[in-house]
Amino acid sequence: MDIAHQRVLEGEVFEAVRSRSPLVGKQIINLGSFSVLFEGETSDSVYRLSSDNATHDFAAKAKKLGVPGVVRLLADYGAVALYQNDDCCPDYLWLAHLEHLDSLETYPNQQAAVARLLLHLTDSDDGDLLASPEDKHALLAKLDNAPIEPCTRQAVEAMQRLLPEYIAETDVDVDLGASNFMVCAVTGDVVLSDPVSGLSNISEEHRKRLLAEGIVVEVQQ
């Protein structure tokens, strides 16, 4: 992966957000399907800039409800810029400061446990993107009797607690690819990092502010 020449997000709006605090001077360290990860304030954190709000929304709900097994949200900036102005379906850039997690690939025991879990939930040990209503509702039934191992318990309980609300949203996909399961180095627990996609909820008031000011970088309370 050529991070130096990434094409996940690009253009004047992306560069303008990147040149402002808190991202100014921060190096790109990884890429997602709709997101770019930057260095955080310490080695234990990252900034995630994305054209999709679902992961940030998922992490915010987990934080509010005190649900472990989900990447910790350290600060939520919400929609910071209008990325592509479309009267029907505009795209925004969403910014969050998150805990830094480790890849499953460096934890063979956790990787094997996640593979067993995903085989049960998606019929593939590498996981799958569940987009159809039928597949998403079938997932809920499979979660009821999902295999639980010590390192995956919190992640499974988080899915059981939080996913039903997102599955009710017709435009939100459930992304249970193996790469969206990571590990907290301190505890060794498996953590959900990017389990949903397809959300771009913004108030009309905030949309008007972004149209007027261009970029609004403020921590959401």
Give 36-41's long-range contacts (Cβ < 8 A, gap of 24+).
Answer: 36/6, 36/8, 36/9, 40/74, 40/97, 40/98, 40/100, 41/97
Residue 9 belongs to domain with CATH number: 3.30.200
- Please count the residues of the chain: 221
Same-domain check for residues 68 and 157: no
Mean pLDDT calculated for residue range 172-177: 95
Is residue 204 one of the residues assigned to a domain? yes
The total number of structural domains in the chain stands at 2
Is residue 43 one of the residues assigned to a domain? yes
Mean pLDDT calculated for residue range 163-182: 92
Same-domain check for residues 37 and 10: yes
pLDDT at residue number 88? 67
How far is the C-alpha of 59 from the C-alpha of 96, rounded, in Å?
10
Which element (helix H / strand E) includes 19?
none
Same-domain check for residues 172 and 93: no
pLDDT at residue number 8? 84
Same-domain check for residues 94 and 113: no
Which element (helix H / strand E) includes 185?
none
Which residue type is seen at 106? T
Same-domain check for residues 85 and 115: no
Is residue 83 one of the residues assigned to a domain? yes
What range defines the domain where residue 14 resides?
Answer: 3-101+200-213
Same-domain check for residues 127 and 186: yes
Query: Any residues with CB less than 8 A from the CB of 134 and at least 6 apart, and which?
Result: none
Which range (27-41, 75-89, 127-141, 172-186) has the least confidence?
75-89
Is residue 219 one of the residues assigned to a domain? no
Contact between 217 and 80 under an 8 Å Cβ cutoff? The reply is: yes
Contact between 97 and 41 under an 8 Å Cβ cutoff? The reply is: yes
Predicted TM-score (pTM) of the model is 0.92
- ∠ CA 195-95-159, nearest 5°, is 20
E strand map for 70-168: 73-84, 91-99, 102-103, 129-130
pLDDT in tens, 13-57: 999 999 999 999 999 999 988 899 999 999 999 999 999 999 999
Same-domain check for residues 86 and 137: no
pLDDT in tens, 102-113: 999 999 999 999
Whether the pLDDT of residue 3 is over 80: the answer is: no
Is residue 185 one of the residues assigned to a domain? yes
Same-domain check for residues 207 and 153: no
